[in-house]
Chain A
Amino acid sequence: MTQPDFSGVLEASFIRSRDLDAPLGDRLQAFADDVRRLAPGFMAAIDALVGRLQESDAGAAAPKVGDLMPAFLLPDDQGRLVKLQDLLKAGPLAIAFHRGHWCPYCRINIEALARAEEKVAGEHRHIAAVVPDRRKFAIWLKSEAKAPFPVLTDIDNGYAMSLGLAIYVGDEVKSLMTDSGWDPAKSQGTDDWLLPIPATFIIGTDGIVHSRFVDPDYRTRMEIEDLLAALASAT
Chain B
Amino acid sequence: MAIEMLALVLGLTMLVALALGLWVSLALSAVAILGIVIATSVPVGTVMATTIWGKLNSWELTALPMFIWMGEILFRSRLSQDMFAGLAPWMRGLPGRLLHVNILGCTIFAAVSGSSAATTATIGRMSLPELSGRGYDPRIAIGTLAGSGTLGLLIPPSIILIVYGAATEQSIARLFIAGVLPGIMLAMLFMGFTAAWAVMNRDKMPAAEPVIPFAERIAATRRLLPVILLIVAVIGSIYAGLASPTEAAAVGVFCALVLSWLSGTLTKETFTDALLGATRTSCMIAFILAGAAFLTVAMGYTRIPRELASWISVMELSPYMLLAALTLFFIVLGCFLDGISIVVLTTSIILPMVQAAGIDPIWFGIFLVLVVEMSQITPPVGFNLFVIQGMTGRNIFQVALYALPFFGLLVVGTVLLVAFPEIALWLPETMLSNN
User: Is B a genuine binding partner of A?
Assistant: no
